[in-house]
Structure 1
Amino acid sequence: MSLETMFNVAGKSVIVTGGASGIGRAYVEIMVECGAYVCILDCDQDGLGQTVAQIGAEGWPGRVWSIAVDVSDRRALANAFDAVARKQGRIDAVFANAGLDAGPGFLTPEGERHPLGQIDSMPEDQWDRVLDVNLTGVFSTIRNAARHMKMTGGGRIIVTSSVAARVNESFVGTAYMPAKAGVDHLVRNAAMELAAYGILVNCISPGPFITNIAGGRLKNAADRAAFEAQSLLGRIADPEEIKGLALYLASPASSYVTGAQMTIDGGSSLRG
């Protein structure tokens, strides 16, 4: 297999949830740049319009479009998948990326107790919303991807998890870690179930990246320093740095990889 063939995704039909910004947008960009046709699913209507317009203006008009949908709305999500299959003919790869911040942790980066992050004072609807999007939304995305990929003989599902699935954080909202731990288990179980249908399920586990999910917090010097201190490289990653791994998992290069959880965190989880 030549290098060109190994990483070829030209003509593939791709869905990216949460693709209007951050890591999701990086997934969209690399897929479009390499010749795929991408539909972005996101609840941020303004962000969707801007992203589609900007990518089109960069020289790939017609290769990217969008549907405004919240991944926690199961019926709307299923309808969106059906619409993509009708327009693009099939669904070859799905990036289950949509997620949201869980609010403050029980400690501030300075080590003080955070009044809004205590387990006995954090809003219950905040817990519910994080689990609905970050875990159940991934389940619904995998479910719809599998439904379509079984009909066409296989495909790739790439889930965005987090190193927070394995490493607890005192200054990250309590709901975030169990949601991502559930995602990790879900990926492994789905990989076992769907391999028989030629559907490969893998997960990318980022460490600290500059994205909207933590973008507001990173304006605070103490918060930024806390995330930078986790990395062995002493910095927060740019979404550009995740593109190579995304392309690998969506392309023939990873044809014997399923159930894998690939960490990209600058070594931050080694601090344990």
Structure 2
Amino acid sequence: MSFTGKTAVVTGAAGGMGLNIAQDLAKQGAYVVLIDIKESAIDLTQTKQGTTYFAKGDVTDSAFVQGVMGDVFKKTGRLDYLVNAAGVLWFDKDKSTEQTDLDSWDRIMEINLKSMVITCRHALPLMRKTGSGSMVHVASIQAMRGDDKPQVAYQASKAAIISLSKTVAMEGAADGIRSNSILPGPTLSPMQDRWVHDPSIQRSTESVIPLGRAGTTQDMSNATLFLLSDNASYITGTELIVDGGLLARP
């Protein structure tokens, strides 16, 4: 896969999956704009091959996102890829239907879902001008099942991402714009820093994964770059489960 000469925007890119995806795109020759409200976890000047630019701001701010995308389009003359990796998982505030904090529900929906509406609505016209485009949105296998220890806002937002991705796929198909989602299973990333403090939680989780281990951000990046690439040129409006076989269990 080569992304040389292409332009990408990746949200939630200060760390974890988003950063891994952005780095891999840059290593494959793309010009990558990383968006996050937090500072980048690494020195981006060390990224080889493609060029990266970090835009610090809130992905739920439509004017900010529109400005970033407009600037990158002016600079490169194109927008080829969009990756929506921004998301939060708040174990302390997002709990069961009866317990979840409703103010937190609203903010989780903003960050996980509204940000996707915002990025897509500003990316679509620029991709049409480019002549094609590909989007990947990070959902979760939690969108496909219930949980006896739920985070209801997180799960509902991730399920909505899958639905919205399908709609965007239909909206962009005539212009050669594809939209797909990936559904990560348990993944070693900053979002699961509780595993660092209590490794027994990680071991318990991995014991039920058929492949016997948690996923890595590299696993998720590999899946994302495949869906973005021309190797997936006939794939749109669908989701790729990347969970070590967890959802296949009876």
Give the TM-score range, shorter chain: over 0.9
1:83 aligns with 2:71: yes
Partner of 1:56: 45
Residues 96 and 150, structure 2, Cα contact 8 Å, conserved in 1: no
Q: CA deviation at 1:30?
A: 1.2
1:213 aligns with 2:184: no
Distance across 2 between alignment mates of 1:121 and 1:205: 26
CA distance in 2, matches of 1:142, 1:219: 36
Amino acid at match of 1:21: G
CA distance in 2, matches of 1:212, 1:172: 19
Structure 2 residue corresponding to 1:153, chosen from 119, 125, 131:
131
Unaligned runs of 5+ in 2: none
Q: TM-score w.r.t. structure 2 length?
A: 0.92
The list of structure 1 runs, each at least 4 consecutive aligned residues, that deviate by more than 6 angstroms after superposition, is: none
Could you tell me how far apart the structure 2 residues matched to 1:128 and 1:230 are?
Answer: 32
> How large is the RMSD of aligned CA atoms in angstroms?
1.9
The one-letter code matched in structure 1 to 2:48 is G
- Structure 2 CA distance, aligned partners of 1:174 and 1:162? 13
1:258 equivalent among 224, 231, 236: 236
Aligned residues: 250
Name the residue aligned to 1:28: 22
Could you tell me whether the CA contact under 8 Å between 1:24 and 1:97 is conserved in 2?
yes
Larger Rg belongs to: 1
**Among 64, 89, 92, which residue is 2:80 paired with?**
92
User: Does the Cα contact within 8 Å between 2:23 and 2:47 map onto a contact in 1?
Assistant: no
d(CA) in 1 for partners of 2:241, 2:218: 15
CA contact (8 A) 1:14 1:94 kept: yes
Aligned counterparts of 1:58 and 1:194: Cα–Cα separation in 2: 32
Q: Deviation per CA, 1:191-241, whole angstroms, max 9, x where unpaired? A: 112101110111111111111222235522343234323411222111122
Q: If the length of structure 1 is used for normalisation, what is the TM-score?
A: 0.85
SS in 1 for 2:234: coil
Q: Tell me the residue number matched to 2:113.
A: 135
Q: Distance in 2 between matches of 1:211 and 1:172?
A: 19
Shift of 1:143: 1.2
Cα 1:135/1:67, change in 2 over 3 Å: same
